[in-house]
Amino acid sequence: MLGIKAVASYTPDHCVSNIDRAEEAGKDVDFIIDKVGFTSVLRKSEEQDTSDLCVGAFESLLAQNAGVTRDQIECLIVVTQNPDGFGLPHTSAIVQHKLGLSEDVAAFDVSLGCSGFVYGLDIIQSFMASQGFKHGLLFTADPYSKVIAPQDYNTDLLFGDAAAVTYIGENPVFTSGKSTHKTNAKLSHSIKVDEGTRCLSMLGNNVFKFAVSKVPPQIEKCLEMNGLDKDEVDLYLLHQGSKYIIDNLVPSLGVDPLKVPFMAAETGNTVSSSIPMMLEQYMDSDEATILISGFGVGLSWATSILNRVKY
């Protein structure tokens, strides 16, 4: 039985304080703390590329003594829309090389944003099952600082750089339940890299409306598919788009706010890494049933259930 054996993350040393630049950004400090929610955002160095963040996450995984060794790895996937260079070659191949993995490793990228972890989990587990693989790595790394326009505070205050790696194998901590995935490309222009400026542009109105109107019904559907009542879920790990989004999703879900944490105050919105970075904190906890839901670029949204395995 395949599932999640371990999760590790990499966060760059450098962070930018949103509090210090609140005035410059034309925002009240209270607005940043209470609404945006990100008091600081992580920033990779100029020299670091996306693959380096993945390598950092893998080193964290090794430091956990998660039981994985380089020679065991049979496949790796990198979920990113901000790949090394211009995306050719694919970042997963660069990661394979930088990690010194065998050429027997299957490596490919998946182009998804904030829903990418949920999709990625389903993809890697299905791929591994079909190939009979027992050791796989799912990386998420989407450093938006590569495409954020200087002083575009509509985006610069939100996004942080980080990476996570999820080790998939047998005798896991969590197995996946049934998932649901949706897309609405009619609103794809809501989060995109502008062809002219090659910088990120975001229509916050559309994104917020999308999140609060589309995510709760999908979560309900996912619970139904898994035969769960909302109270049977111990933890709801929702993509950390902003504190305001999380705060507005909670009443719609009708669950205890303590079950829907906001944990990205000091990192920023790390796109597809936001869910695994939270999950990393709960790997050794008591929560038996965890719902994960990612939503954003595409517009794309995906929800799944993680069940802690009892041994």
Nearest distance, CB of residue 87 and other proteins, angstroms: 29
Write the DSSP symbol of residue 14. Answer: -
Nearest CA among 279, 212, 215, 218 for reference residue 245: 212
248 binds other proteins (CB under 8 A): yes
Stretch of residues binding other proteins (CB under 8 A), selected from 62-70, 157-165, 241-249, 284-292? 241-249
| b (16+ CB within 10 A) / e for 72-99 | ebbbbbbbbbbbbeeeeebbbbbbbeeb
What is the tally of helices (H) and strands (E) in the chain? 8, 14
295 binds other proteins (CB under 8 A): no
- The answer to whether the CB of 237 falls within 8 A of the CB of 292 is yes
35 binds other proteins (CB under 8 A): yes
Residue choice 64, 208, 217, 230 for contact with other proteins (CB under 8 A): 208
DSSP string, 127-158: HHHHHT--EEEEEEE--GGGTPPTT-HHHHTT
- The answer to whether the CB of 81 falls within 8 A of the CB of 49 is no
307 binds other proteins (CB under 8 A): no
Decide whether 85 or 251 has the Cβ nearer to other proteins. 251
CA distance 275 to 164: 9
Decide whether 187 or 263 has the Cβ nearer to other proteins. 187
Residues β-bridged to residue 79: 110, 140
Nearest CA among 251, 258, 240 for reference residue 37: 240
Decide whether 64 or 248 has the Cβ nearer to other proteins. 248
Residue choice 106, 193, 212, 228 for contact with other proteins (CB under 8 A): 212
Stretch of residues binding other proteins (CB under 8 A), selected from 11-19, 201-209, 229-237, 295-303? 201-209
201 binds other proteins (CB under 8 A): no
214 binds other proteins (CB under 8 A): no
Decide whether 186 or 310 has the Cβ nearer to other proteins. 186
Decide whether 176 or 269 has the Cβ nearer to other proteins. 269
For residue 299, is the peptide bond before it cis, meaning its omega torsion is within 30 degrees of 0?
A: yes
3-class SS of residue 10? strand
The size of the interface with other proteins (CB under 8 A), counted in residues, is: 14
Residues β-bridged to residue 138: 77, 166
Binding flags for other proteins, 2-31, as an x/- string (CB under 8 A): -----------------------------x
Stretch of residues binding other proteins (CB under 8 A), selected from 45-53, 79-87, 112-120, 199-207? 199-207
Decide whether 5 or 243 has the Cβ nearer to other proteins. 243
204 binds other proteins (CB under 8 A): yes
Residue choice 106, 149, 187, 263 for contact with other proteins (CB under 8 A): 187
Residues β-bridged to residue 40: 17
Binding site residues, other proteins, CB under 8 A: 31, 35, 187, 203-206, 208-209, 212-213, 242, 244, 248
